[in-house]
Amino acid sequence: MADSSDDAVELRDPFEGDPRLPEYFGSSWPALQAFHAMLVREGVLRGLIGPREVSRLWARHLLNSAAAVQYLPAGGRIIDLGSGAGLPGIVVAAMVPNAEVILLEPMERRTTWLTEVAAEVALENVTVVRGRAQDVDGQLTGDVVTSRAVASMDKLYRWGAPLLRVGGRLVVLKGEKAQDEVDAAVKVGRQAGFGPAEVVPAVSLPDVEPTRVVRATLEGATRVR
């Protein structure tokens, strides 16, 4: 039988109570602290995160999402494609309060969750839209499209282009194989109207593993499905 003390150690989030968190998040800290609490309380029960993720929500999910904010504008309209549990969309909305943030998510139970989160943590700049990128083509356009753990770059180019104005930017969180994905999707990106993609490091706190952001600007109105 497993030792209960070992379980307790395993389940403890090492960043819980870390004084650097409120300093790092600044004015967005109350909203993100409340969002974290909701994920701890309901995330697993509602099928939004796996059980093992509860003990690493800050480093692996919230700080990871926050690392992309440095590459986002301070205003305009940001569309989070496939918002899921609200990562990075809810984090972005809290940290960029002057932007209009659209959380685009096809699953009803997730849109219900996102609506509840936005209300509970008082994010007035959030609009939740149920649907896929293809469903809102021609109806919804933004300055930036964000995404995290949704699809490969070739799909993100296809889905993101119709959601962006010309000159708008795709800003997506990717893992260690980001450059490989970019290299494999060069042709699709060009056909979709994007200029060359750039992979840039995204750092939050010093002892949190850096992630990668892929940035690409929509240079033309060419669309590929």
Q: What is the pLDDT of residue 220?
A: 85
Q: Are strands 126-130 and 99-105 parallel, antiparallel or unpaired?
A: parallel
Distance CA 135, CA 44 (A): 29
Average pLDDT over residues 48-76: 95
- pLDDT of 224 strictly over 80: no
At residue 49, the 3 state secondary structure works out as: coil
Q: What is the pLDDT of residue 222?
A: 62
Q: What is the pLDDT of residues 97-155, one digit of tens each?
A: 999 999 999 999 999 999 999 999 999 999 999 999 999 988 999 999 999 989 999 99
Q: Are strands 142-148 and 164-174 parallel, antiparallel or unpaired?
A: parallel
Q: What is the pLDDT of residues 206-218, one digit of tens each?
A: 999 899 999 999 9
Residue 80 β-bridge partners? 103, 146
Q: How confident is the model at residue 6 (pLDDT cuts 50, 70, 90)?
A: very low
Q: What is the pLDDT of residue 137?
A: 86
pTM of the predicted model over 0.75: yes
Distance CA 142, CA 171 (A): 12
Q: How confident is the model at residue 7 (pLDDT cuts 50, 70, 90)?
A: very low
Q: Mean pLDDT of all residues in the chain? A: 92
- pLDDT of 225 strictly over 90: no
Domain segments of the chain as ranges = 10-217
Percent pLDDT > 90 in the chain is 86
Q: How confident is the model at residue 9 (pLDDT cuts 50, 70, 90)?
A: very low
Residue recorded with tokens 């939050």 = 204
Positive/negative CA dihedral, 41, 43, 44, 46: positive
Q: How far apart are the first and last CA of the chain?
A: 53
Q: What is the pLDDT of residue 12?
A: 80
Check if CATH label 3.40.50.720 holds for domain 10-217.
Answer: no
Token code pair at residue 100: 């209009």
- pLDDT of 29 strictly over 70: yes
Nearest to 206 by CA among 63, 90, 68: 63
Q: What is the pLDDT of residue 1?
A: 39
